[in-house]
Chain A
Amino acid sequence: MKKHEFLRELEQLLPRESAENTISYFSEMIDDMMEDGIPEEAAVAQLGEPQKIVAGLIEETGEAAADIKQRRRIRKVDYAAKGDIVSLHIHTVNREIALTQSPDDRVHLRYEEWETEYHTITEQNGTLKLEPPKKRYEPIFRPYPQPNPKLEIALPETAYETIHLQTTNGAIRSPIAVTAKQFGVQSTNGVIRLEQLTTGQLDAKSANGAIRCFHLKAEEVTLTTSNGAIRLADSTVDYLKATNANGRIRLDQSEIKEPIRLITSNAGVFLNDCSLPKGGKIVNSNGPIQLTLKGRREDYRIGAHTINGKTQVGENTTGKISLQLTTCNAGISAQFA
């Protein structure tokens, strides 16, 4: 067993309050043994089974034994894909989905042991599929104290064809750099957070959760939610269409190369330090529209329409780039820098 595997296993067996202390002790011990010339796996082997260590800890310190017993039942399964994977179709229910970096060149799926019967995994022609059974069931007494189990997907760095992630009642998080021709994410009540994604086509849907993208590079992006905020930062997108009903839309330091399409109501639209070289259309109702754009005011032809609000977009309307801003019951402002 490698050091990180050992520590992960140990962590899962420990009550949360004392896990950090214990993990740092054993991590340091392995480092010291390795520094003394003992190979990593031999050092880990010398420490013995994590289960035995925890059992000894309970016996010696009488520490939160009940809690440990409860957590001991949670064991993670690590499914490693057999072949090279270029497409992923992950469909799960009531789970959080998190992408992480793979420790090797395989795609790994990590889930709690009891879930093994809960979903089916198939692998065919470079496509990895995870599906819940058609007849769904959830144990009433879940063998874990956490509210939301997590499905972890560890990806090796490569260019993917299609990645599709779908869940309900759980967040979808991708904090790692991912490249895929098509990237689809869908959650009903969960937040979607994508960092460092490079893709041809991104389609993200959530009903009651926010959608946040950072350092996104994409050709075509469609973001749809109804009661969550939409945020895009430090991104470069060719085509962007974002639709929201009761949530804010905010873009920071981003460039939208083709005409932008933003639609929401009952919340504001804010663009900070963004570049819209082809202009576009922003429609809101009951919320303000505030833009600070890169470029020169005289290049834009701005049509600003609001009822019951002030417009502050400057006088010149002769530019070549068309930008249509519509709202009511709130103000519209556009500044250029």
Chain B
Amino acid sequence: MDKQLKHGITDACVLAALCRRDSYGYRIVQELEGKIEISQSTLYPVLRRLEESGCLTVFSIEHSGRLRKYYHITPVGIKKLDQFLEEWELVMKMYDFIKEERAVYEEA
């Protein structure tokens, strides 16, 4: 898959995983497992990127004697998700168009 496209989808999926509740690294990976291609290690740069662009904030909570970092989606993050959905609306239309036209070629 195109790198730029993959970035966009990964970012959106991670943000989506934070919509229901604030979450931590390991749980995010578990929730996204099977949906997109992500691992404990590849999640890290995504979180870093999203934090740097203001889409999420980080806070720590003590958990069994150590600190665990929780990620919280910000209004910027929500806006980014809306943008993503809007763009994909267009992409889906294009998809339908391309599929239709492609089918025509087969038949001809």
Contacts and interface: CB of A to CB of B under 8 A. Distances in A.
Nearest to A32: B26
Interface in B21-77: 24-27, 39-42, 44-49, 52, 64, 66-69
Contacts of B46: 60
Contacts of A315: none
A17 interface: no
Contacts of B64: 35
Interface residues of B, number: 20
A61 B47 CA distance: 10
Nearest to A36: B26
Contacts, number: 56
A134 to B, nearest CB: 46
Given A33-B40, A56-B42, A25 B69 contact: yes
A32 B45 contact: no
A114 interface: no
B26 A60 contact: no
A48 B41 contact: yes
Given A36-B26, A48-B39, A28 B45 contact: no
A47 B41 contact: yes
Which of A25, A36, A53, A59: most chain B Cβ within 10 A? A25
A236 B1 CA distance: 70
Contacts of B68: 28, 32
Interface in A19-42: 21-22, 24-26, 28-29, 31-33, 35-36
Contacts of B44: 22, 25-26, 53, 57
B28 to A, nearest CB: 10
A46 interface: yes
A33 B41 CA distance: 13
Contacts of A59: 45
B24 A28 contact: yes
Majority-rule SS of A interface residues:
helix
Contacts of A48: 39, 41
Given A60-B46, A61-B49, A28 B41 contact: no
B49 A32 contact: no
Contacts of A25: 25, 44, 47, 69
A46 B40 contact: yes
A59 B4 CA distance: 12
A324 to B, nearest CB: 56
Given A24-B69, A28-B68, A46-B40, A61 B26 contact: no
B42 to A, nearest CB: 6
Contacts of A35: 64
Nearest to B65: A31
A26 B67 CA distance: 12
B65 to A, nearest CB: 10
Interface in A36-88: 36, 46-48, 52-53, 56-57, 59-61
Interface of A: 21-22, 24-26, 28-29, 31-33, 35-36, 46-48, 52-53, 56-57, 59-61
User: Which 4 pairs across A and B sit closest by C-beta, in order of nearness?
Assistant: A60-B45, A32-B26, A53-B41, A29-B40
24 contacts: A24-B67, A24-B69, A26-B41, A26-B44, A28-B67, A28-B69, A29-B25, A29-B40, A31-B66, A32-B68, A33-B26, A36-B26, A46-B39, A47-B39, A48-B39, A48-B41, A52-B41, A56-B41, A56-B45, A57-B44, A60-B45, A60-B46, A61-B49, A61-B52
Given A35-B64, A47-B41, 9 more contacts: A25-B44, A28-B25, A28-B67, A28-B69, A32-B24, A33-B26, A33-B40, A46-B39, A46-B40
